[in-house]
Amino acid sequence: MSKTLAIILNFNDPVRTDEIFKALKPYEGEDYDLHLLDNGSNKAPASTNTTLTMKQNLFYGGALNYAFKYFIKNKSKYDSMIFITNDVIVHGPSFVKTMREAMFSNPEYKLISPVMCSDNNGQMPLTMHKHMNCWGKREIRPVKYVDFETPMFHKDFILDVKSYSDDLIYGIGQDMLSGMICKDKGWKVGVIDWCNVYHGWAIACKTGKSSLDLNTYGNVSTEAMHAHFQKINRIDELHSFLEYGGKYNA
């Protein structure tokens, strides 16, 4: 029986990362294998739960490519992958199970996400309110793209994409590019409105865990994203997706 490969990403914050690991580890088994990937931590020791290690920090984009490479190397074992940043809180007993049931009951969906409840600038109640009318319906809500804090990728998607451009190493843009890829392939992207995750927005930058402060990170990552979409001749689609995401996303 194939499983989900669940990877938690750590960078300089083993305490926060271990909380996610402890929430998910007891339920590892038939549904998923759990790994903890250290992204070249240099300001704090790696977690004692670390199972995969990168020699240097390659930001979110490099870590996601590493995870894809690991998945492809072990593709006979897995049918999907969840990539989990360490600034979230998940419900351990049901999180992976709920995501798996949603994806494999709806095979047209190759990329899904839980609802992201964010504390971005104190707007968590507003973010939650936007989804309240959908919760409990047990239907996947189709969207153009999903946030990449805890995305779940179908095996078909990973084997097709293989890796993202190093232009997107800072981790901004993979979400919208993935939505475009799914559109090109005739695949669906969706949000699981009965599965929610709390996201502590930009904690790594805000707490000094990252080598870049929040403003610098925002500037360099946004500039790199626009340059990449310009290079692949999809800049107009990017602007359309940004406008869409500004109004409503996961």
Interatomic CA distance for residues 174 and 164, integer angstroms: 7
Q: What confidence tens digit (pLDDT) does each residue in 71-107 have?
A: 999 999 999 999 999 989 898 889 999 999 999 999 9
Q: For residue 50, give every residue at least 6 positions away whose Cβ sits within 8 Å of its Cβ, in sequence order, or none.
A: 10, 36, 37, 38
Q: Do 127 and 117 meet the contact criterion of CB atoms below 8 Å apart?
A: yes
Q: Give the distance between the most distant pair of CA atoms in the chain.
A: 46
Q: What confidence tens digit (pLDDT) does each residue in 146-186 have?
A: 999 999 999 999 999 999 999 999 989 999 999 999 999 99
- Report the CATH number that the domain containing residue 242 is assigned in CATH: 3.90.550.60
Q: Of the ranges 112-116, 152-156, 225-229, which one carries the lowest mean pLDDT score?
A: 112-116
Q: How many domains does the chain have?
A: 1
pTM: predicted TM-score of the whole model, two decimal places: 0.90
Q: How sure is the predictor about 120, in pLDDT bands with cuts at 50, 70 and 90?
A: low
> Domain span at residue 239?
3-247
